[in-house]
Amino acid sequence: MPKVADFETALTPTWCPGCGNHAMWRALKETLEELELPWTDFAMVWGIGCHGNGADFFRCQGFHSLHGRALPVATGIALSNPDLKVIVEMGDGDGYGIGGNHFIHSVRRNIDMTAIFHNNQIYGLTTGQASPTSDQFMKTPSTPGGVIEEPVNPVGVAVAQGATFVARGFAGDIPHLKELYKAAIQHEGFAVVDVFQPCVTWNKMNTFKWFRDRVYKLEELEGYDVTDRTMAFETSMKTFHELTCAPDECKVPIGIFYREEGAATYQDDLPQLKAPLYKLAEKPRDISKTLESYGG
């Protein structure tokens, strides 16, 4: 079974020093080691963005796909080989902006895979434009007058769309993040893990400190029930924060928002997906019976 160090390639990560991506990667590598997942049994898919550069540093099977299209590429893999656990990493622009449609539809499919969102509330790789999760009034090169849209509420949307697992982590708390990763990878169904991943270069507002001062854990919240969809929705509406709000005025919940066990996954409903589909192409398929209805 590969250990943390085995997941590293000869390339040194090019993420900025202090970037939340380092921590997220570390959490994932440790999770994989602890889950004792052999290389053969999982495949990673990345979108395009700073997060996706991880494809160069991460020794594993995987596909560095297009900006916004990681989920469908991952779906193609998951629906072609039931033996692979598929883990998808996306940016916030990538996954909620240009890829937002695949997000909703993957949720409602309950495809068995894990979707990790590197939510730095900014477009990192393209030098700091506003992302769909940027806080209102944030000034960026594409919004010099400040963002005037509500941020995307990935937790709320997922919950409204029937998600079976929705969690939110923080790159500043690796042990907690690992717990979320583990639960997500072990969840049978589509697991959404949105991770606050401070971008130290472009996002000068939502910093590690900003979050450290504000995050609290749902599992420590009295009376929080992860099987209560409405509670998850209501809590998601509280995760919106304003750039200027004081630490005690805006608290940011992390942890598992919602979890439903036992729901059928998309794969469960595909009786034809018992073995990898490449086995269907070992020789020509016999279509003679099918030809009968066309006169043959």
Partner 1 sequence: MSEGKDRRGRELRVKIGGEAGFGIKSAGQTLARVFMDAGLNIADLTEYPSLIRGGHNNYFLRVSKDPVFSHVEEVDVLVALNRESVDLHLDELVEGAAVIFDPADVSTTGWLPSGKLRPVPVPLKEFARQAGGTIMRNTVALGAVLALVHFPLEGLAESLREQFAHKAPEVAESNIVAAALGYQYVSQNVPDFWLKPRGIKGAPKRLLIDGNEAIGLGALAAGIGFYAAYPMTPASSILHFMAKHERDHGVVIKHTEDELAAMNMVVGASFAGARAMCATSGGGFALMNEALGMAGVSESAVVVGVITRPGPATGLPTWTEQSDLRYVIHAAQGEFPRVVLAPGDQAESFELAWKAFNLADQLQTPVIILGDSYLSDNRRSIPYPDLDSITVDRGKLVTEGDVAPHPEALGGNGEYLRFKLTEDGISTRVLPGVEGALQLGNSYEHDEYGYGQLGEPAETRIAQNEKRMRKLDLARTLVPGPNYFGVAPADADISVLCWGSTVGPLREAALWLAEEGVAVAIMQVVTMWPFPALEVADFIGDAKRTMIVEGNFTGQLQGLVREQCLLDVDHSLHRYDGRQFSPERIVAGIKEVLADA
- State the residues that interact with ligand SF4 by CB under 6 A: 15-16, 19, 21, 50, 120, 124, 199-202
Residues paired with 215 in a beta bridge: 252
- Of 42-50, 71-79, 159-167, 237-245, which part binds ligand TPP (CB under 6 A)? 42-50
Alpha-carbon distance of 11 to 16, in angstroms, equals: 14
CA 46 to chain centre: 10
Q: To the nearest whole angstrom, how small is the minimum distance from the Cβ of residue 59 to a second copy? A: 33
169 binds, among Mg ion, partner 1, a second copy, none (CB under 5 to 8 A by kind): none
Q: Decide whether 206 or 265 has the Cβ nearer to Mg ion.
A: 206
Q: Which residues contact 281 (CB under 8 A, 6 or more apart)?
A: none
Q: Decide whether 199 or 232 has the Cβ nearer to ligand TPP.
A: 199
Q: Decide whether 75 or 120 has the Cβ nearer to ligand TPP.
A: 120
Listed residue (85, 107, 91) closest to 32, CA to CA: 85
Listed residue (95, 106, 89) closest to 32, CA to CA: 89
Question: Interface residues for a second copy in 168-197 (CB under 8 A)?
Answer: none
HSE value, Cβ hemisphere, 13 Å, CA-based, for 158: 32
Phi and psi torsions of 92, nearest 5°: -75, -40
Phi and psi torsions of 164, nearest 5°: -105, -10
293 contacts a second copy (rule: CB under 8 A): no
- How many residues bind a second copy, per CB under 8 A? 33
Q: To the nearest whole angstrom, how small is the minimum distance from the Cβ of residue 51 to partner 1? A: 12
HSE value, Cβ hemisphere, 13 Å, CA-based, for 32: 28
Residue numbers of the site for ligand TPP (CB under 6 A)?
A: 48-51, 67, 91-94, 118, 120, 122-126, 131
Residue numbers of the site for a second copy (CB under 8 A)?
A: 97-101, 104-105, 108-110, 132, 148-153, 156-157, 159-162, 229-230, 233-234, 236-237, 264, 266, 269-270
